[in-house]
Amino acid sequence: MSAGFPHKHLLGIEPLEPSHIETILDTAQGLREVLDRPIKKVPALRGKTVVNLFYEASTRTRSSFEVAEKVLSADSLSIATSTSSVQKGETLLDTARNLEAMNPDMIVMRHSASGAPHFLARHCRSAIVNAGDGAHEHPTQALLDALTLRQKKGRLKGLKVAIVGDVLHSRVARSNVWLLTKLGAKVVLSAPPTLMPPGLGALVPTTHSIDEAVEGADAIMMLRIQLERMSGGYFPSLREYHRRFGLTEERVRRAHKDVIIMHPGPMNRGVEIASEVADGPYSVILDQVTNGVAVRMAVLVLLLGGTQETQA
């Protein structure tokens, strides 16, 4: 039986109990089927308003939230800060308070500062969903990765998952480390020394060799080289990065024969991942995108539906 989801906000994976994570995954699995219906719309969240507040560029996450909101019949509005009053110097808190005056039920936020959604959660009445905060967490991405892994492998417990690439700047890696270790998977992180943050090594094993990390892996999660966050000097050149840390077919062969390859997107083809790997039969990158909609629907339904007693 489901343990329920006793939270008002979804700010990160770290504070969640394993049973709460499983509730989200089970709900998402149940909702997945709605996307294959002839009429892809259910009245579940009719009359609820969701604001998507994106302080950073996003294609997948934002459109995925928007599709999830529309499928569930919630009213949604998306604010890209490049065309909003943020350009005129409005502070985050003022923007949020003004939006709140319009009585939304939920604010989905992406921000370049770690902890921005937590700040909003302290000052707003609405439910807050973190759609990525700085290099901290990206909970819905980790959830959709877990859902994809569970669908393809039937379980998470005991799976060997290699997470390779720009771990330093990656909120996806952090959320995934929390989620996968909470649910019993074995995670190995691999990055060049300059892109491996101190501290994560206390949670999971780390290595500077991709070959070592992918050895016998059930799944390989590639991380994007976040060129926009790099002030330079992390590695000599993109070509060298590809040679030392790019996922090539040869490296895929070191993994388990039923390995699946994941990437949160957007991909830098020829940098962290070779084109033939991204398009290969073991690639589940597009399943991840579809599961992303299902996971976001689950989060919306669990936070906005039902009246189970919540803790902040």
Q: Which is nearer to other proteins, 32 or 251 (CB)?
A: 32
Structure tokens at 141: 């991405």
CA 179 vs. chain centroid, Å, equals 11
Q: Which is nearer to other proteins, 33 or 91 (CB)?
A: 33
Closest approach of other proteins to the CB of residue 62, in Å = 23
Q: Which residues bind to other proteins, rule: CB under 8 A?
A: 1-2, 4-5, 26-27, 29-34, 37-39, 41-45, 47-48, 72, 298, 301-302, 304-308
- Count of CB atoms within 10 A of residue 257's CB? 7
Closest approach of other proteins to the CB of residue 294, in Å = 10
Closest approach of other proteins to the CB of residue 292, in Å = 17
Q: Which is nearer to other proteins, 34 or 161 (CB)?
A: 34
For the chain, report the end-to-end CA distance as a whole number of angstroms: 23
Report the candidate in 261, 284, 281 with the shortest Cα–Cα distance to residue 272: 261
Structure tokens at 75: 């009213």
Closest approach of other proteins to the CB of residue 31, in Å = 5
Closest approach of other proteins to the CB of residue 51, in Å = 17
Closest approach of other proteins to the CB of residue 295, in Å = 12
Dist CA 9 CA 303 (whole Å)? 7
Q: Which is nearer to other proteins, 268 or 291 (CB)?
A: 291
Closest approach of other proteins to the CB of residue 115, in Å = 27
Q: Which is nearer to other proteins, 5 or 235 (CB)?
A: 5
Dist CA 59 CA 195 (whole Å)? 25
Q: Which is nearer to other proteins, 4 or 115 (CB)?
A: 4
Residue 144 belongs to what H/E stretch? helix 139-153
Closest approach of other proteins to the CB of residue 134, in Å = 30
DSSP of 218-279: SEEEE----GGG--S-SSS-HHHHHHHH-B-HHHHTTS-TT-EEE--S---BTTTB-HHHHT
118: Cβ contacts below 8 Å, ≥ 6 apart? 11, 133
Q: Is 94 helix (H, G, I), strand (E, B) or coil?
A: helix
Q: Which is nearer to other proteins, 92 or 108 (CB)?
A: 108
Report the candidate in 120, 135, 152, 138 with the shortest Cα–Cα distance to residue 51: 120
Q: Which is nearer to other proteins, 26 or 287 (CB)?
A: 26
Dist CA 82 CA 54 (whole Å)? 9
Closest approach of other proteins to the CB of residue 27, in Å = 5
Q: Which is nearer to other proteins, 27 or 190 (CB)?
A: 27
Dist CA 310 CA 10 (whole Å)? 12
Report the candidate in 183, 112, 87 with the shortest Cα–Cα distance to residue 142: 183
